[in-house]
Structure 1
Amino acid sequence: MNSVETANELTELLAGQNIKEQLSVAQLVEKATSRNEAILTADGAVRALTGKYTGRSPRDKFFVEEDCSKDKIDWGKVNQSISSEVFDNLYKKVVDYLKAKEEVFVFKGFAGADEDSRLSIRVVNEYAWHNLFAHQLFIRPSQEELANHVADFTIVSAPTFKADPAVDGTTSETFIIVSLEKKIVLIGGTEYAGEMKKSIFGIMNYLLPEQGIFPMHCSANVGAEGDVTLFFGLSGTGKTTLSADADRKLVGDDEHGWSDKGIFNIEGGCYAKTLNLSAEKEPEIFNAIQFGTVLENVVVDEATRIPNYDDAQYTQNTRVAYPIQNIDNIVDPSVAGHPKTIIFLTADAFGVLPPISKLTKDQAMYHFLSGFTSKIPGTERGVVEPEPAFSTCFGAPFMPLHATKYAEMLGQKIDEHEANVFLVNTGWSGGQYGEGSRMKLSYTRTMVRAAINGKLDNAFKKEDKFFGLQIPSEIDGVPSNILDPRNVWEDKDKYDATAKKLAGMFHENFKKFGTVAEGILKNGAPRV
């Protein structure tokens, strides 16, 4: 099946009488509840359950091996290849499957708030609540934009269509397949809506570098003077919490591009975790849950329809999807200038990294490629002591190109705009997990604000001997003794041994980059 035949199949599908295109939020809420896909909660949100798939399925995600991209993609365990024949066969089956459905839902919109580089997208859904999710997460078009909308990429999602691996050539009943040549994302066998969001992010991570734009898995905010800060960090490091600052406006909470004009949000909404959510701890997210937002796998009281965010009956990965406009303190449209401050967040459960340190450009590229945080006991089965977790570029599952391409773009941006980069440890101090204590959020906020406001420009006068990191001597509002992590360990020899152990883990992880990152390794790696 060539590109023309693929387009013809899609055209025939979208011309069907069963197509419901660009329904409003209210209409999609009605459809989702009347079709028993979801229930309405007390605050007007739609709650859906996703069955056995409550998160992404990375082993079932593929790129089609095609002439246009096969020499560019960094093939391996993350970016798995699949043949055109497998894609074509499944695509035909899924399209025929959807043609037979009583209703199919279509959303047209955009990815990328920068109009010069945005991607026009179309989302074709079997489920109304999936289409509502797309409406809330992607950028919604104006009536004029909708009239002239021509899709660059199309998502075709049929969660109840299950593949037969023996016949269809997949690894399981689930598949997420991206054809960059035919500009289609094909999803089946999973009801987890996040696959749509992350598939488009992966496509943007492939396309934007070709335009000289640096794609980033980070949150971003901007101050009253237009000063922009980026926050990179894996789950549990405090990215969402620290980027939500009453004194600064949110640009976006998860995906951004950095062009010659500045930064822009790739999305039109937020996809936040809700486990243990409360109005006191995270008021912005809590108050953003309004009519038409989508709750995934959240426990809801059958009688009152009040969500219980503390109950993880279905999964730890409970989520809410809402338009960014549900947050008061935002930049709209979601664009801003060039960042002057970049924060890398890590939750070091070994307790040896400084609570804040300043990075050279090479160190920034090194730690960006490393993407370090820690797993702590209890987070996963079998984790009984702190374990390192490395996710390249703070988002390895979504990076189709070789990681060094993204690191080089980061280095160029740091040079061009003289951005300051800080590594902030929101993890443990005075000992590793189980011995020391977690860094106080109030101290971390004070340090981050001081870094953003330029109050630390002359504060870094000491170098950590294990990691080569610059440590500040004092910060107003933060006890000086905690700034050098070795000071707060009672057993200094144990600190030294633990620091050497973690430094060795960094070196071991970096071996996967081989000789292509030798310069970064030489000047940015831990000293031991």
Structure 2
Amino acid sequence: MKTIIQSSLVEELFEQPSTKINLSVAQLVEKILARKEGMLTATGAVQATTGKYTGRSPKDKFIVKDETCNDEIDWGSVNQPIEPDVFEQLYHKVITYLKQKDELYVFKGYAGADSKYRLPIQVINEFAWHNLFARQLFIRPTEKEFENHQSGFTVISAPSFKADPNVDGTNSEAFVMVSFKHRIILIGGTEYAGEIKKSIFSIMNYLLPKNNVLSMHCSANVGQEGDVALFFGLSGTGKTTLSADPYRRLIGDDEHGWSPNGVFNIEGGCYAKCINLSEEKEPQIYQAIRFGSVLENVNINQNTRLPDYDDTSLTENTRAAYPLENIDNIVSPSVAGHPNAIIFLTADASGTLPPISKLSKSQAMYHFLSGYTSKLAGTERGVTEPEATFSACFGAPFLPLAPSAYAKMLGEKIDQYNSNVFLINTGWTGGSYGVGERIKLSYTRAMVHAALEGELNSLETVKDEIFGLNIPIHVPGVPDDVLVPKYTWADPNAYEQEAKKLAVKFHENFANFSDASDEIAQAGPIYRP
């Protein structure tokens, strides 16, 4: 049911003759070039830059605190509260601002490939290139669906509107505000297109669990026999690389729901990192960047118009947005059965976590809540040495509910569908960062293959003395001595000291989850100082 705030002012925008709704890719590209919002590249993609903001602005993200969601949101630094009157005043200012624009662009479509759980959305954009981004990232309607489309949530994006913190109650000129009562996402002051994508993911992380659907920050693919695999992992762990498999079809690369029917993609496109992209290493992504794709903050040679994927002068967070259809080996529609295997990926720079271990349900919930990896140099500004980082459920910035709510659902689904869970370390072996070396990709692929093919389900394991993880004694295609980290270090004492340091960090982080059961809390590292 529409609220007064949405049905009045938003619909006034649609009544303007200058508002363009669901333009084709070609029409949007023409608009982008005519308005000088971006340039056409030699690949056929359009390139745009985002100015000051080249990534998400988490300190500028708010949820309106009202009776609709007050008792459900996990309030804190991730979910910052904002008062309803502050939101409504800013909302009216943004609408007034947009009504003065010569053109506006609207995309009407869906989030959620499973029709039973999908959310009808509409995205109102000041920029044509943002509208092309939305069209490629979300699920595009058929003609009949478009005719009957009734939006359940509206994104209003006005990048050129700058907030005044002293007047508007924001932290800066930029703002991303979600009102669950009015079913509106208000974005301003930032040109970074990723805010549009991730704001929809955040609301799906609130809405889907209400329908017994676990929302997940993961990639997913399916084998020739219909076996489904999920890949969770933070930046730099190999999630995209390992889920792209010539022998398995891609369901999606980033956001999924797990319903009583199975797994479905929340999106209709991909938002891939482009840093150091090459056809040799990542052919699927490289070849997918063609006409209709959006290159964000990728530098272009002005003469040849070829992208320079190695150039980080604008940002290291260079991106490409393109529809799933640009990849050949996909599932269409993006739905599949229940996961046979769940893989948590971590890039451990301490070199002490096993390359692969099989997790019990309690361990799975512990490591899901922990969301551990090492933030590597270059992934964020100011990071010059690897840092241990923890992100609950491998997606803390996008979780409106307490992490334990998602972990509880995961545990129930693992039980119900008998999914096997593995922790795979794509990080260092033979020593920590700077001493050891990165685990060979060929070994990691062999481990993933063995996990997905069920080859590890009944194999004998040994328990790690510090982390309590069950390590298979043999994995086809991987030398046995690589599987136990202690045996790869020249100095066993140095290994033990480093492993204990990491165990302590796990325990310190898990102290944040006081609502976790004793069984889950005890499923972490055995070593306790």
Q: Tell me which amino acid in the other structure corresponds to 1:258.
A: W
Contact 1:227-1:340 within 8 A present in 2 as well: yes
Residues of 2 paired with 1:526 and 1:277: CA distance?
40
Counterpart of 2:102 in 1: which secondary structure? coil
Q: Which residue matches 1:355?
A: 355
Residues of 1 paired with 2:74 and 2:424: CA distance?
29
Contact 2:346-2:423 within 8 A present in 1 as well: yes
Contact 1:376-1:433 within 8 A present in 2 as well: no
Instruction: Kindly state the Cα deviation for residue 431 of structure 1 after the two structures are TM-superposed.
Output: 0.3
Counterpart of 1:496 in 2: which secondary structure? helix
The within-5 A match list for 1:188-227 is 188-227=188-227
Q: Tell me which amino acid in the other structure corresponds to 1:148.
A: N
Contact 1:404-1:517 within 8 A present in 2 as well: no
Counterpart of 2:124 in 1: which secondary structure? strand
Tell me whether 1:486 sits opposite 2:449 in the alignment.
Answer: no
Instruction: Kindly state the Cα deviation for residue 358 of structure 1 after the two structures are TM-superposed.
Output: 0.4
Residues of 2 paired with 1:464 and 1:293: CA distance?
46
Residues of 2 paired with 1:378 and 1:178: CA distance?
31
Range with greater deviation from structure 2 (511-520 or 204-213)? 511-520
Residues of 2 paired with 1:76 and 1:517: CA distance?
22
Instruction: Kindly state the Cα deviation for residue 527 of structure 1 after the two structures are TM-superposed.
Output: 4.0
Instruction: Kindly state the Cα deviation for residue 222 of structure 1 after the two structures are TM-superposed.
Output: 0.2
Instruction: Kindly state the Cα deviation for residue 473 of structure 1 after the two structures are TM-superposed.
Output: 0.9
Q: Which residue matches 2:333?
A: 333
Q: Which residue matches 1:121?
A: 121
Counterpart of 2:176 in 1: which secondary structure? strand
The within-5 A match list for 1:121-270 is 121-270=121-270
Q: Which residue matches 1:509?
A: 509
Residues of 1 paired with 2:179 and 2:30: CA distance?
33
Counterpart of 1:305 in 2: which secondary structure? coil
Contact 2:316-2:378 within 8 A present in 1 as well: no
Q: Which residue matches 1:28?
A: 28
Counterpart of 1:447 in 2: which secondary structure? helix
Q: RMSD of the TM alignment (CA)?
A: 1.1
Range with greater deviation from structure 2 (515-524 or 38-47)? 515-524
Q: Which residue matches 1:469?
A: 469
Structure 1 residues 526 and 26, CA gap change in structure 2 (3 angstroms): farther
Residues of 1 paired with 2:40 and 2:386: CA distance?
40
Instruction: Kindly state the Cα deviation for residue 336 of structure 1 after the two structures are TM-superposed.
Output: 0.2
Counterpart of 1:94 in 2: which secondary structure? helix
Contact 1:156-1:186 within 8 A present in 2 as well: yes
Q: Which residue matches 1:519?
A: 519
Contact 2:235-2:379 within 8 A present in 1 as well: no
Instruction: Kindly state the Cα deviation for residue 375 of structure 1 after the two structures are TM-superposed.
Output: 2.1
Q: Which residue matches 1:310?
A: 310
Counterpart of 1:160 in 2: which secondary structure? coil
Contact 2:466-2:525 within 8 A present in 1 as well: no
Residues of 1 paired with 2:120 and 2:381: CA distance?
41
Q: Which residue matches 1:9?
A: 9
Q: Which residue matches 2:430?
A: 430
Residues of 2 paired with 1:118 and 1:380: CA distance?
33
Instruction: Kindly state the Cα deviation for residue 456 of structure 1 after the two structures are TM-superposed.
Output: 1.2
In the alignment of these two chains, the number of paired residues is: 527
- Structure 1 unaligned residues grouped into runs of 5+: none
Residues of 2 paired with 1:79 and 1:155: CA distance?
18
Residues of 2 paired with 1:379 and 1:148: CA distance?
43
Residues of 2 paired with 1:458 and 1:6: CA distance?
56
The within-5 A match list for 1:19-98 is 19-98=19-98
Contact 1:358-1:460 within 8 A present in 2 as well: no
Instruction: Kindly state the Cα deviation for residue 385 of structure 1 after the two structures are TM-superposed.
Output: 4.2
Tell me whether 1:273 sits opposite 2:258 in the alignment.
Answer: no
Counterpart of 1:218 in 2: which secondary structure? strand
Instruction: Kindly state the Cα deviation for residue 515 of structure 1 after the two structures are TM-superposed.
Output: 3.9
Counterpart of 1:504 in 2: which secondary structure? helix
Q: Tell me which amino acid in the other structure corresponds to 1:7.
A: S
Counterpart of 1:523 in 2: which secondary structure? coil
Tell me whether 1:412 sits opposite 2:439 in the alignment.
Answer: no
Report Cα offsets for 1:63-92 as digits up to 9, x if no partner.
Answer: 000101010000000000001111101110
Instruction: Kindly state the Cα deviation for residue 14 of structure 1 after the two structures are TM-superposed.
Output: 1.3
Q: Tell me which amino acid in the other structure corresponds to 2:321.
A: A
Residues of 1 paired with 2:360 and 2:180: CA distance?
36
Q: Which residue matches 1:294?
A: 294
Residues of 2 paired with 1:212 and 1:489: CA distance?
45
Counterpart of 2:400 in 1: which secondary structure? coil
Q: Tell me which amino acid in the other structure corresponds to 2:22.
A: Q
Residues of 2 paired with 1:117 and 1:34: CA distance?
38
Q: Tell me which amino acid in the other structure corresponds to 2:280.
A: E
TM-score, scaled to structure 1:
0.98
Residues of 2 paired with 1:363 and 1:412: CA distance?
14
Q: Tell me which amino acid in the other structure corresponds to 2:418.
A: E
- Structure 2 unaligned residues grouped into runs of 5+: none
Structure 1 residues 515 and 156, CA gap change in structure 2 (3 angstroms): closer
Report Cα offsets for 1:252-287 as digits up to 9, x if no partner.
Answer: 000000000100000000000001101100000000
Q: Tell me which amino acid in the other structure corresponds to 1:3.
A: T
Residues of 1 paired with 2:262 and 2:428: CA distance?
34
Report Cα offsets for 1:471-507 as digits up to 9, x if no partner.
Answer: 1111121111010000010100010111111000000
Structure 1 residues 295 and 377, CA gap change in structure 2 (3 angstroms): closer
Contact 2:44-2:290 within 8 A present in 1 as well: yes
Counterpart of 1:11 in 2: which secondary structure? helix
Tell me whether 1:457 sits opposite 2:457 in the alignment.
Answer: yes
Report Cα offsets for 1:445-474 as digits up to 9, x if no partner.
Answer: 001101100111232420001111001111
Counterpart of 2:471 in 1: which secondary structure? strand
Counterpart of 2:522 in 1: which secondary structure? helix
Counterpart of 2:415 in 1: which secondary structure? helix
Contact 1:219-1:251 within 8 A present in 2 as well: yes
Q: Give the share of equivalent positions with the same residue, in percent.
A: 62
Q: Tell me which amino acid in the other structure corresponds to 1:346.
A: T
Contact 1:460-1:470 within 8 A present in 2 as well: no
Report Cα offsets for 1:273-327 as digits up to 9, x if no partner.
Answer: 0011011000000000110100000010101111010111100000000000100
Structure 1 residues 52 and 342, CA gap change in structure 2 (3 angstroms): same
Counterpart of 2:187 in 1: which secondary structure? strand
Q: Tell me which amino acid in the other structure corresponds to 1:290.
A: R
Q: Which residue matches 1:392?
A: 392
Q: Tell me which amino acid in the other structure corresponds to 1:519.
A: E
Residues of 1 paired with 2:380 and 2:290: CA distance?
32
TM-score, scaled to structure 2:
0.98
Residues of 2 paired with 1:420 and 1:516: CA distance?
21
Instruction: Kindly state the Cα deviation for residue 202 of structure 1 after the two structures are TM-superposed.
Output: 0.4
Contact 1:506-1:526 within 8 A present in 2 as well: no
Residues of 2 paired with 1:374 and 1:458: CA distance?
30
Residues of 1 paired with 2:379 and 2:133: CA distance?
28
